[in-house]
């Protein structure tokens, strides 16, 4: 069932989430090179990155799927400066090569940020089994995340699903 529910989640993210970001000027940038060769990265980031140039910064959004193949997702996002990043371990990273987790300050979107609870269809042990419509509803019900992400990237506002990660503190 896990493979099927994961497929349903991916299909609905493709159908609803990706277009919502594209309407806000983001473009899909698939994994390339060593990233595309990595089964772990392909599994966790099947869409690659969503990128948008704003001013001189590069807004970067990653839709991350649960690495244990559970049908759940979260969003990682941040703004990469034009000059790139001087990472304490990785050295200098060019703007176009950066991942959100390379940034000193970035954001994550969760269903419940305090508990780092991923977006997923939740059912009780004895409740009805999940169906494809449950994943469509999950994605459609969370399309407002696009606005929360816009507010965080443009104004630094922390919406109800947003967690700020400041590596420097």
Over residues 106-119, the mean pLDDT reads 96
Structure-block tokens of residue 148 = 């929360």
Within 10 A of 5 (CB to CB), how many other CB atoms are there? 21
pLDDT tens profile 12-54: 999 999 999 999 999 999 999 999 999 999 999 999 999 999 9
Beta carbons of 149 and 109 less than 8 angstroms apart: yes
Whole-model pTM: value is 0.92
Within 10 A of 33 (CB to CB), how many other CB atoms are there? 8
The whole-number pLDDT of residue 124 equals: 63
The whole-number pLDDT of residue 127 equals: 64
Beta carbons of 159 and 152 less than 8 angstroms apart: yes
pLDDT tens profile 51-103: 999 989 999 999 999 987 689 999 999 999 999 999 888 789 999 999 999 99
The whole-number pLDDT of residue 150 equals: 96
Share of the chain above pLDDT 70, in %: 95
Sign of CA dihedral 62, 45, 108, 94: negative
User: Does position 1 have pLDDT exceeding 60, yes or no?
Assistant: no
Looking at every residue in the chain, the average pLDDT score rounds to 92
């Amino acid at each position: 069932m896990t493979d099927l529910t994961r497929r349903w989640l991916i299909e609905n993210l493709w159908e609803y989430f990706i277009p919502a970001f594209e309407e806000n000027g983001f473009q899909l940038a698939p994994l390339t090179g060593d990233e595309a060769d990595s089964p772990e990265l392909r599994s966790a980031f099947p869409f690659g990155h969503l990128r948008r140039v704003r001013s001189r910064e590069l807004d970067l959004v990653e839709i991350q799927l649960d690495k244990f193949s559970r049908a759940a997702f979260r969003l990682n996002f941040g703004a990469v400066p034009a000059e790139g990043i001087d990472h304490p371990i990785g050295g200098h990273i060019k703007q176009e090569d950066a991942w959100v987790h390379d940034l000193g300050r970035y954001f994550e979107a969760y269903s419940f940020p305090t508990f780092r609870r991923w977006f997923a269809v939740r059912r009780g042990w004895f409740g009805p089994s999940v169906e494809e419509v449950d994943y469509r509803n999950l994605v459609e019900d969370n399309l407002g995340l696009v606005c929360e992400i816009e507010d965080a990237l443009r104004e630094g506002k922390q919406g109800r699903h947003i967690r700020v990660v400041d590596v420097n503190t």
